Amino acid sequence: MSISTKIQSKNNKTLNLEKVGIIYNVEHEAAEPVAKTLEDTLGSRGFPNIAKYEVHGKKDKFPVDTELGLVFVIGGDGTFLGAARGFSPYGIPLFGINTGRLGFLSQLKPVDIEKGVEKITAGEFVIDERLMIKSSIENEPDNHIALNDVVIKGGEISRTAQLFLYINGMHVCDYLADGLIISTPTGSTAYTLSAGGPVVVPELEAFVIVPICPHSLTTRPIVIPADEEIEVKIKIDSDHIFVTNDGQESIKINSKKTIRVTKNEYKARLITLKDNNNGFYSILRQKLHWGISPQVK
């Protein structure tokens, strides 16, 4: 049995199934058998070309084959974030199967693989485009990309710093805090949420700026349009600071340098199955227990 290699999504985008990839994180004990089950399922449904790749941890380099039309990512949210940074420059859509803990970015549990593959081949999905964030360091050529967030912190041990926030060249405010998180809507349910930031729906083109443990009762998160240009300057009793992307790629820089953060040119493309139980608000309720009243016994 063969399948149509060109599938139209519910939001009128074309998914090319001529060659698909399976990436699985071998640090997850369940990932390898799940990858084998997925490979067998895809083969039985007539997928013509299936490539399998293993990665050793969420910080491992992802093998990027630009001929892939779809990548199944088996692991946790960390594995998915690494795949997003690797494949998004080429516009390759990602579909997550969770073998981690929360799995907020993954669409499917391993037990639902057959149902998920069936929905994809039937066109019962949408391709969502998620805002990504880009950071750069003063007088350095490289850009660093993240799907969730950019985090600016002090030296090797936790220490308070003065952080000066500028938006579009204008001085906005000063923070006395352990650090600063600049997040996309996708990242608003990750570190940003833990630091007291708001939940932002993924469709919004916005950034969330949240100080980490601020030494002030009046400091609050800020939500700004994603087209704004953010600059952060730091005063700290240390000669270096760290800028971390998605909690995975950490860069040690001179503390006197300015960090610039802007919207990235390309977006991450995520496959979302059409299902009444997997919308954003449903996921908030199921995985973060958002808005659920305490049980009275």
Task: Give yes or no: residues 278 and 248 share one domain.
Answer: no
Give the number of domains in the chain: 2
- Tell me which DSSP letter residue 28 carries: S
Same structural domain for residues 151 and 255? yes
Residue 14: per-residue pLDDT:
94
Structure letter (DSSP) for residue 61: P
Q: Give yes or no: residues 151 and 248 share one domain.
A: yes
Tell me, yes or no, whether 284 lies in a domain.
yes
Select the more confidently predicted residue: 48 or 282: 48
Q: For residue 67, give the CATH number of its domain.
A: 3.40.50.10330
What is the pTM for the complete model shown?
Answer: 0.92
Nearest residue to 185 via CA among 251, 107, 270, 255: 270
| Percent of the chain whose pLDDT exceeds 70 | 94
Amino acid making up residue 269: R
Identify the pLDDT of residue 190: 92
Please indicate, yes or no, if residue 148 is contained in any of the structural domains.
Answer: yes
Element (H, E) at 39: helix 31-44
Q: How does pLDDT run across 72-108, given as a tens digit for each residue?
A: 999 989 999 999 999 999 999 999 999 877 777 888 8
Q: What is the pLDDT at residue 293?
A: 67
In this prediction, residues 229-234 reach a mean pLDDT of 97
Tokens of 101: 């803990």
pLDDT tens per residue across span 257-268: 999 999 999 999
Q: What confidence score (pLDDT) does residue 295 get?
A: 62
The pLDDT tens digits for 236-249 are 888 899 999 999 99
Comparison of pLDDT for 30 and 292, the residue scoring more: 30
Residue 297 within a domain: no
Looking at the structure, tell me whether residues 78 and 153 fall in a common domain.
Answer: no
Q: How distant, in Å, are the alpha carbons of 100, 129, 148, 238 from that of 209?
A: 27, 21, 12, 23
**What are φ and ψ of residue 222, in 5° steps?**
-125, 135
Distance CA 203, CA 201 (A): 6
Give the chain's mean pLDDT: 90
Q: Which domain holds residue 53?
A: 6-130+267-288
> Which pLDDT tens digit goes with each residue over 111-132?
999 999 999 999 999 999 999 9
pLDDT in the model for residue 64:
86
- The DSSP call for residue 149 is E
**pLDDT of 178 above 80:** yes
**Helix orientation angle between 31-44 and 113-121, rounded to the nearest 10 degrees:** 40
What is the per-residue pLDDT across 11-69, written as a single tens digit (0 to 9) for each? 999 999 999 999 999 888 889 999 999 999 999 999 999 999 998 876 667 778 999 99
- pLDDT given for residue 63 in this prediction: 76
Which residue is it, tokens 């449904």?
Answer: 45
- Residue 199 scores a pLDDT above 90: yes
pLDDT for residue 276 is more than 80: no
Tell whether 259 and 273 lie within a shared domain. no
Which amino acids are annotated catalytic? 77
Site of tokens 């002030």: 216
- The rounded percent of the chain whose pLDDT value lies above 90 is 73
Please report, for the domain that includes residue 202, its CATH number: 2.60.200.30
Q: Which amino acid is at 167?
A: I
Are residues 87 and 194 both part of a single domain? no
CA distances from residue 14 to 5, 19, 127 in whole angstroms, order as listed:
10, 14, 9
Are both 118 and 13 inside the same structural domain? yes
Q: 8-33: buried (b, 16+ CB within 10 Å) or exposed (e) per residue? A: ebeeeeebebebbbbbbbebbebbbe
Per-residue model confidence (pLDDT) at position 157: 65
Closest Cα partner for 148 from 97, 95, 92, 210? 210
* 98/38 Cα distance (integer angstroms): 13
Sign of CA dihedral 115, 120, 122, 125: positive
Angstrom distance (rounded) from CA 139 to CA 24: 37
218 vs 229: which has the higher pLDDT: 229
